[in-house]
């Protein structure tokens, strides 16, 4: 691949990606998902704030930030908790007591909140995580997280130079549909690390995420989690 022009590389990756994308839309997330954020706010304050905070930024390190997450992802996780596709004893009870309308409304409110981040824990760890997130590992085993996550940040504008291990990754280019992973930036480091250690739900995307997580060393998980947490 090294001898090919960057555009040819991009094209071949994109074509491979489009083949993978066909028919892989998982779950029952309607494309036009929306909800009543005013009702959502009341619901979150009454039933979620103790753990996730009134605006979804939470306080505990192992409770994920929900503020600013994509509405479709939030909704899909609530469905998955409630039908057991994603296992969490805490969230199972809460999600199964919510109506479909409640799930949409809470998701709509949370998606519209501003996400905070955490202070940089260690500059060296963060730098290691940044390289992994944007470029993947030097040995090619771990793909760049940026291939699927937080694409709206605009790092594709500068091209994909240096990005490694893009097999099956979704990219916003040439009008291609994007296989977007959820927003990670600003997520709590301890939660990211915990998720990477324990990917176990059975959706096709999570299977891919499981393979990626399995290819990472513990040090790489820590580093990327540190980088993510410090960049809301
Ligand atoms: C008792 C504490 C608690 C309460 C109350 C609670 N949650 Fe959670 N929530 C958690 C924990 C802990 C997790 C992480 C679960 C895991 O990954 O094992 C979580 C995960 C989630 C996730 C997945 C986020 C992601 O990034 O994947 C969503 C969505 C969510 N909660 C929504 C809600 C909503 C909406 C409410 C209120 C209706 C709520 N939660 C109430 C503790 C709580
Ligand atoms: C091929 C695309 C792809 C790549 C590359 C990728 N991810 Fe993911 N990731 C996903 C998708 C899709 C999901 C959502 C899975 C689901 O719906 O349950 C996800 C979910 C996650 C979650 C759970 C988020 C939450 O809020 O619970 C974490 C953490 C995560 N990825 C971290 C990473 C890290 C770190 C990297 C880089 C080392 C990475 N991912 C690379 C596609 C990808």
Q: Which residues of 90-124 are buried (b: 16+ CB within 10 A; e: fewer)?
A: ebbeebeebeeebbbbbbbbbbbbebebbeeeeee
**Helices 89-96 & 71-83, crossing angle to 10 degrees?**
100
In the structure encoding, which two tokens stand for residue 144, read together? 């760049």
E strand or H helix that includes residue 221: helix 218-229
The answer, yes or no, to whether any atom of ligand 1 lies below 6 A from the CB of 209, is no
Looking at all shown ligands, the one closest to residue 184's CA atom is 2
- 8 Å CB contact between 226 and 61: no
Strands (E), the chain: none
Residue to mutate (ligand 2; options 24, 64, 85, 149; most atoms within 8 A of CB): 149
Distance of CA 2 to the CA centre of its chain: 30
Position in ligand 2 atom list of the atom nearest CA 133: 37
Q: What pTM was computed for the model?
A: 0.84
Helix segments in 97-172, DSSP class H: 100-111, 123-135
pLDDT for the residue numbered 203:
72
- 8 Å CB contact between 185 and 232: yes
Query: Which residue puts its alpha carbon closest to atom 6 of ligand 2?
Result: 145
What domains, with CATH codes, occur in the chain? 6-23+118-229 (1.10.760.10), 37-111 (1.10.760.10)
The answer, yes or no, to whether any atom of ligand 1 lies below 6 A from the CB of 79, is no
Tens of pLDDT, residues 116-134:
999 988 999 999 999 999 9
Q: Which residues fall within 8 angstroms of residue 221, CB to CB, at 6 or more apart? A: 192, 193, 196, 197, 213
In the structure encoding, which two tokens stand for residue 188, read together? 């709590």
The answer, yes or no, to whether any atom of ligand 1 lies below 6 A from the CB of 24, is no
Tens of pLDDT, residues 77-127:
999 999 998 989 999 999 999 999 999 999 999 999 999 999 988 999 999
Tens of pLDDT, residues 149-206:
987 766 554 444 455 544 444 444 433 334 578 999 999 999 999 999 988 766 777 8
Mean per-residue pLDDT over the chain, rounded:
80
């Amino acid at each position: 691949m090294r001898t090919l022009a960057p555009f040819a590389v991009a094209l071949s990756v994109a074509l491979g990606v489009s083949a993978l994308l066909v028919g892989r839309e998982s779950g029952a997330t309607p494309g036009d998902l929306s909800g009543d954020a005013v009702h959502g706010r009341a619901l979150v304050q009454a039933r979620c704030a103790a753990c996730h905070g009134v605006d979804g930024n939470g306080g505990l390190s192992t409770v994920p930030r929900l503020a600013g997450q994509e509405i479709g992802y939030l909704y899909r996780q609530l469905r998955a908790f409630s039908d057991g596709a994603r296992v969490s004893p805490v969230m199972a009870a809460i999600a199964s007591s919510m109506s479909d309308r409640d799930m949409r409304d809470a998701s709509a409110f949370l998606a519209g909140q501003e996400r905070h981040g955490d202070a940089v824990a260690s500059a060296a760890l963060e730098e290691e995580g940044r390289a992994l997130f944007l470029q993947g590992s030097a040995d090619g085993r771990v793909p760049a997280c940026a291939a699927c996550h937080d694409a709206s940040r605009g790092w594709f504008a500068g091209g994909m130079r240096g990005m490694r291990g893009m097999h099956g990754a979704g990219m916003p280019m040439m009008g291609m549909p994007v296989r977007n992973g959820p927003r990670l930036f600003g997520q709590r480091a301890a939660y990211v690390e915990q998720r990477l250690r324990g990917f176990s739900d059975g959706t096709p995307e999570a299977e891919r995420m499981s393979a990626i997580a399995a290819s990472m060393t513990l040090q790489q998980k820590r580093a990327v989690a540190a980088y993510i947490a410090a960049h809301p």
